[in-house]
Amino acid sequence: MTTLRLGTRASALAVTQSQHIADRITAETGAAVELVTISTEGDRSSAPLATMGGQGVFVAALREALLRGDVDLAVHSLKDLPTAPDPRLVLAAIPRREDPRDVLVARDGLTLGELPQGARVGTGSPRREAQLNALGLGVEVVAIRGNVDTRISKIASGDYDGVLLARAGLLRLGRADEATEVIDPLQMLPAPGQGALACECRADDDATIRLLERLDDSDTRAAVTAERSLLATLEAGCSAPVGALAEIADGDHGDELWLRAVVGDVSGSPTIRLSATGLPSEAAAVGERLAVEMLAEGADALVAVATS
């Protein structure tokens, strides 16, 4: 069997995630997989993501390599993947999701509630900034970019009292014990798709599609489909403070999908929080319906301010 070429960003986290997928492919199918690192616009620039055109900055170069035939598949953090489909490509597998929650890494083992007034908390995410400010803790939110090492080093240097990160990334890097608090989604909903990986290949590559389908997790696919449907209906990207989390739970008549979402102003007010339920098989419709309800509550104005 020909060795599969897997396109990945070059960061330590991206390579770790991609190697995990490569190992699973080999274990499930026996196919050999070679990682091919590709530099993306998001990796090369230190500008705030919200000023760089949104989610696609981390995936465009990988998709171009796929379409040129330089690689056979690409692995993305699903939260970085634009919601608009590309008919030339297919999302062949969404493996089982890692913990989607956010975490705080802070000096002296502090939690959010223990941070002193005026403490400097770093994040590059308008979503996290909006929800942190909505908690009314009196901390100062400061912008930060860079990989996990860069962000955490800002605490040791004294530049920041804490930083907000995705728990999934720390888990995959074997650094979960560095978090001083795992933040309850009741306080801070994650980004749509956070914690999930996307395995993408060319739509006409039937052999690779069949191979990747063996890695797909139906519950994870339903959950992130609902979250991304909501994001698409809101017409929001990563520059808009939108959080969403869908979960599959036992209902009275079988599995039920429960979707929670938030849209807010980065100042912390106003904030719109709503939820919806439905069948996992109707995940896209659940996300769209909840987004329509949020738009009726004024979410369009909040999204417009964030993206202007």
The set of catalytic residues is: 80
Say how far apart CA 190 and CA 196 lie, in whole Å.
Answer: 11
Q: What does each C-alpha distance from 89 to 5, 7, 11, 199, 238 come to in angstroms? A: 16, 14, 24, 10, 22
Q: What does each C-alpha distance from 70 to 5, 64, 117, 219 come to in angstroms? A: 8, 9, 51, 31
Token duo for residue 30: 């026996």
Cis before 116? omega within 30: no
Q: What does each C-alpha distance from 150 to 22, 47, 158, 287 come to in angstroms? A: 26, 15, 13, 35
What does the buried/exposed string (b/e) look like for 97-109 if buried means 16 or more CB atoms within 10 Å of the residue's CB?
A: bbbbbbbbbbeee
Q: Does residue 38 sit in helix, strand or coil?
A: coil
Say how far apart CA 174 and CA 19 lie, in whole Å.
Answer: 14
Say how far apart CA 183 and CA 155 lie, in whole Å.
Answer: 18
Say how far apart CA 6 and CA 118 lie, in whole Å.
Answer: 45
Q: Is there a contact between 266 and 129 (Cβ–Cβ < 8 Å)?
A: yes
Residues 6 or more apart whose CB falls under 8 angstroms from that of 305 comprise 265
